[in-house]
A = this chain, B = another copy of it.
Amino acid sequence: MSLTEAKQNPDTRERILDAAESLFVEFGFEATSMRQITGRAGVNLASINYHFGSKEALIQEVFRRRLTWLNRERLNALERFEKEAQGAPLKPHQIVEAFFGVSLRMAADTEHGGHTFMRLLGRTYTEPSAFVRQFLADEYAAVVPRFKQALFRSLPDVPPEEILWRFHFMLGAMSYAIAGTDALQLVAEHELDEKDPGALARRLMPFLLGGLRAPLAEASAKPREKGPRRAI
């Protein structure tokens, strides 16, 4: 030991996961090599395969370690509202708050990597890789049906199919809002207040609710001019 005092190991696993998470956001799964990860983590190349088994397993663990908590938190929030409502249908804004509010609060946490992870998660919804998609589907299996049911009860006059589409649209808007800071630069050169982490939530939630509760399109052709009146 003598000279190298840095050799005590806080937790190799955690350091690998943190390094991988940030590199995946930066370069994507495929473009990030195991040598980059171990390099940033300051550990030996072989330790990834030793601790996780393979790169693929590492990717899954990067997600699992945060996603399990995130989804439980979402369910907790929903159940809290449901207990409050005593059997009555929830308000749409409560359901949106339970699902997206939790995500946005995690995305606002820049201290413990929550922001990094949410960027990664948002990008991953469109990830081509089959095993990542399968993994996400499994992780969401317990959450999505609960929120679907809550939305169906909350909006009894909207066809369930329409609700699913709009849930999908909301997911997209949020994912991009978090993941696509790069795409945002495309729209606004430099004028936005990205500093405040809570700003995103304050801006996104009204948008999501406005979209979710928008009037339905006529069944026939595309809506002609003189659409339904709206404030603002």
Contacts and interface: CB of A to CB of B under 8 A. Distances in A.
- Report whether over half of chain A's contact residues are helix, strand or loop; otherwise say mixed: helix
Interface stretch (A34-42, A71-79, A208-216): A208-216
B210 A137 contact: no
30 contacts: A25-B128, A27-B128, A28-B127, A30-B30, A125-B176, A125-B180, A125-B183, A125-B186, A137-B186, A155-B232, A160-B191, A164-B187, A164-B192, A166-B207, A168-B176, A168-B187, A168-B188, A169-B177, A171-B176, A172-B172, A173-B176, A173-B211, A202-B222, A205-B222, A206-B215, A206-B216, A209-B214, A210-B215, A213-B232, A214-B232
Interface of A: 25-28, 30-31, 91, 93, 122-123, 125-129, 133, 136-137, 140, 144, 148, 155, 157-158, 160-162, 164-177, 179-180, 182-188, 191-193, 201-217, 222-223, 225, 227-228, 230-232
